[in-house]
């Protein structure tokens, strides 16, 4: 009978030790998850946001290359439409292709891109500074300036 009590005590000790070890493991894994969440998730969200901004910029530039006036206007804010009406930049010209030279995140919801535009026949290459702004969870072209 003494042996049965010793076995029970050993089993209880082993069970308590296993439970403590399991709770310690859960605690460590929870801590690691919070660390990953606090560091990695914002960086991932930032990259996803930048990809969506670049997608809008690419659609805008492709519409300009294809000379699609109606499509181009879908990507502009009122400010950019006013700039185009004043002749500060040309919505449609003889663009052949473009190249994104640099990007910069400004304040919340704004990005600035330097875009090199190659005209057909390679006659003239120029740089435009394009600013995109977030309006109601969607990005739009807010300003287009000639680069210097």
Please report, for the domain that includes residue 142, its CATH number: 3.10.450.540
Residue 6 pLDDT > 70, yes or no? no
Mean pLDDT value of segment 62-74: 87
CA–CA separation, 5 vs 44, rounded Å?
56
Stated pTM of the model: 0.70
Asked if 111 contacts 50 with a C-beta cutoff of 8 angstroms, the reply is yes
Instruction: Check whether 48 has a pLDDT greater than 80.
Output: yes
Number of domains in the chain: 1
Report DSSP state, residue 136.
T
Please check whether residue 60 is in contact with residue 117, taking contact to mean a CB–CB distance below 8 angstroms: no
**pLDDT at 14 exceeding the cut of 80:** yes
Question: In terms of residue numbers, what domain contains 20?
Answer: 2-146
């Amino acid at each position: 009978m003494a042996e049965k009590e010793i076995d029970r005590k050993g089993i209880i000790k082993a069970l308590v030790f296993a439970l403590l070890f399991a709770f310690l493991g859960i605690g460590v894994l929870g801590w690691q998850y919070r660390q990953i969440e606090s560091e990695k998730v914002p960086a991932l969200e930032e990259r996803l946001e930048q990809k969506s901004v670049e997608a809008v910029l690419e659609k805008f530039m492709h519409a300009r290359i294809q000379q699609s006036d109606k499509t181009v206007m879908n990507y502009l804010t009122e400010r950019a439409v006013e700039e185009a009406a004043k002749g500060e930049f040309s919505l449609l010209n003889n663009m052949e292709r473009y190249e994104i030279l640099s990007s910069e995140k400004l304040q919340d919801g704004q990005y600035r891109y330097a875009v090199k535009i190659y005209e057909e026949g390679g006659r003239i290459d120029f740089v435009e500074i394009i600013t995109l702004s977030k309006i109601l969870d969607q990005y739009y072209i807010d300003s287009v300036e000639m680069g210097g």
